Amino acid sequence: MSSSSHFHKIGITRANLISRIECFEKMAWEQFFLLAFFTRQQLVGLEYSHHVSHMKERLVIFEWILKMSSGKPDSQIIAKDLSFVSPKYAPILEALQEGASSQNIAILSHGTGNGDLIEYMDVNKIHFPQANKRIPYRIEQIYYVRECPMAIMKALLAFEDLRNNLDNRILSHLDEYFKEVSKFHHLDDKNTQGFQFLQPEAYTSYFNDRMSLVDKVNHAEKYSEVSPHFKTEFSAIIDEAFAKQLAKIIEFAYLPLNFSCSQDRKKKLTSFSINAGSELTIKHNSNDKEGHSDETVDGETKPIVKDTIVAMIDKSYLSNLLLIGQRDEAARYILSTLEENLPPKHQTLDALSSTQAAEQIAYWYKKNKTNLITRIDQIPRLVATLVQFDIQHGLGEHHHYSRIIQSHKVSNLNWFRLTNAVIKYCFVDNYYNKTVFSYAPKEFQLSINGIEIIELLELAEKEIFLNSEKPDFIDSRSENMLAPWGKPLLTNYNEINNDDFKPDFDISLLDKYKKRPLYLKLQKSSWSIDKRHRMIDKIEKQQKLSTVTYPIGTAFPMPLWFV
């Protein structure tokens, strides 16, 4: 009998849990790929006529701002530098975000005492017009997903780990339930219907980790006969626990995007919930004196009536609420936040549970999802598309390859081989720090310009696929969905050093690499992307005014374009 049949006996429908996990898995990956592909389409001009933002030049200015804010103008940006933008440059950052032209940014720089930026733009010949459309993401998010997409993709693989370990997680909650709520011991006394409630010590000694899944579920089923509320209670516990776990996975995966927010936006995205104090600022004025008090605002003294509450709402935040159908939700949130600032006797609204939030978000996704991901098995193809594009264009964690590759003519087949090696090395073996080419002997690395890229690639392939054991610091998670894409494309890699070596390839795997999506493929005739594959169209469609609400003020993140 399958585990799904066993769990059904205690009110748990395993298929529903899998479906819920996959729903959030597709949604989280979709949000990432919308951002990542939009960024790359912008950086290489794939949407030049449809959405002109000159993103490459904007990111050059943003990187300069980061360097100046960190006090290290001549050094490389590191992760911690992304957490702070000096208030001195905040107006310039906001102008970049709003799509201002280089001329307007120069005027603003002059007016805010940032003449050094004007000089930097002149020296580096940075000139660009006003963007012809609203930029749908924060500049900080675009910058980070250009620089470090691999870390986010690795974190999103945790959804698969959750699915693969579903039974163990359910059993863990079953153990906890009985340890904390229903301490029992199995007896043959028919008068007690097979159970007697005992102290925790007696229960623990009997219902323990050595029992099989079947035994534990059978005991729980018998317990449900004497406790009619058990199935309902335990089902609610499982739903809430898994909803919280889904929120944590997305929070962790998107943490770099949160970490890279400028100071004025950092609070908004903290914990991926909507917090009073940034979008909605509540001030409760209470005085012991009768009549009025005074407050100075922008140098002007204004009277304040006793016991008034002043609410200030971020305009762009309110606009985003309307984009995702949150008219009623916005009103509910404002009222809820107001009540938090009133005495306890006035508080009447309850926050959504994680289960309730998950249900609402799942429904929102069902009504507003794009066609980017319709099945889980499509995700590896999108990962491979992104990895190869970044290697070819020196983006992401692969910018160090550019000096190796760009001076060589590389065939499509060898791009596939390099992508294959990266997927094996970074996602299947799960290394974080080394580069693929670090496997090549030092004497070759020191004379890269003097050897063919294929020689370096073959050296890397041989080492990667011959030494595939995971290092000690890697977790023991089960094989992930990218494992089939990390099988050796070159099947006779162990013969590379032989004098008569001729490459032999896995044809079925090679076909997978050839048949990837076209989101980053140019039309040769127009140096643009097919309109069916424009990310900006998919993003704008998802941003349409919706009648389906997306809950706010929960542990779940907002859509990444909710800026």
Indicate the SS3 state at residue 241.
Answer: helix
- pLDDT level of residue 539 (50, 70, 90 thresholds): confident
The model's pTM: 0.80
- pLDDT level of residue 519 (50, 70, 90 thresholds): confident
Tokens coding 172: 């863990």
Looking at residue 293, its pLDDT comes to 47
- pLDDT level of residue 42 (50, 70, 90 thresholds): confident
Q: Quick check: 198 pLDDT over 50?
A: no
User: Is residue 174 within 8 Å of residue 216, measured between CB atoms?
Assistant: yes
Looking at residue 469, its pLDDT comes to 54
User: Is residue 471 within 8 Å of residue 428, measured between CB atoms?
Assistant: no
User: What is the CA angle 173-427-454, rounded to 5?
Assistant: 170
CA distance 411 to 408: 10
- The arithmetic mean of pLDDT across residues 407-421, rounded, is 82
- The arithmetic mean of pLDDT across residues 121-150, rounded, is 90
Round the average pLDDT of the chain to a whole number and report it.
Answer: 76
- The arithmetic mean of pLDDT across residues 371-398, rounded, is 90
Indicate the SS3 state at residue 292.
Answer: strand
Spatial CB neighbours of 233, under 8 Å, sequence gap ≥ 6: 177, 181
CA distance 24 to 11: 22
How far is residue 226 from each of residues 9, 11, 172, 178, 513, measured CA to CA in Å?
15, 15, 22, 14, 57
- The arithmetic mean of pLDDT across residues 449-476, rounded, is 63
- pLDDT level of residue 285 (50, 70, 90 thresholds): very low
Q: Quick check: 511 pLDDT over 80?
A: yes
Tokens coding 296: 């100075």
Q: Quick check: 441 pLDDT over 60?
A: no
Rounded-to-10 torsion of CA 95, 390, 28, 326 = 20
Report the DSSP pairing between strands 308-313 and 280-285: antiparallel
Torsion region of 427: left, alpha or beta (phi above 0 gives left; psi -120 to 50 gives alpha): alpha
CA distance 454 to 462: 12
- pLDDT level of residue 405 (50, 70, 90 thresholds): low
Tokens coding 152: 């986010």
- pLDDT level of residue 53 (50, 70, 90 thresholds): confident
- The arithmetic mean of pLDDT across residues 553-557, rounded, is 86
**Nearest alpha carbon to residue 321 among 112, 551, 108, 520:** 551
**Taking the CB of residue 199, how many other CB atoms lie within 10 A of it?**
9
Report the DSSP pairing between strands 300-305 and 292-297: antiparallel
CA distance 119 to 270: 35
- The arithmetic mean of pLDDT across residues 21-42, rounded, is 95
User: Is residue 37 within 8 Å of residue 519, measured between CB atoms?
Assistant: yes
pLDDT tens across 246-281, in order? Answer: 999 999 998 878 654 444 443 333 322 333 334 545
Greatest C-alpha distance within the chain = 98
- pLDDT level of residue 382 (50, 70, 90 thresholds): very high
Q: Quick check: 183 pLDDT over 60?
A: no
Tokens 């600032």 sit on residue: 341
- Of the ranges 75-89, 100-114, 253-267, 518-532, the best mean pLDDT one: 100-114
- pLDDT level of residue 526 (50, 70, 90 thresholds): low
Among 166-180, 331-345, 390-404, 419-433, the minimum mean pLDDT is found in 331-345
- The proportion of the chain whose per-residue pLDDT surpasses 90, expressed as a percent, equals 27
- pLDDT level of residue 418 (50, 70, 90 thresholds): confident
**Nearest alpha carbon to residue 10 among 185, 182, 243, 161:** 182
pLDDT tens across 337-368, in order? Answer: 666 655 544 444 457 899 999 999 999 999 99
- The proportion of the chain whose per-residue pLDDT surpasses 70, expressed as a percent, equals 64
User: Is residue 397 within 8 Å of residue 148, measured between CB atoms?
Assistant: yes
Looking at residue 219, its pLDDT comes to 77
Helices 507-514, 412-423: crossing angle, 10 deg rounding: 100
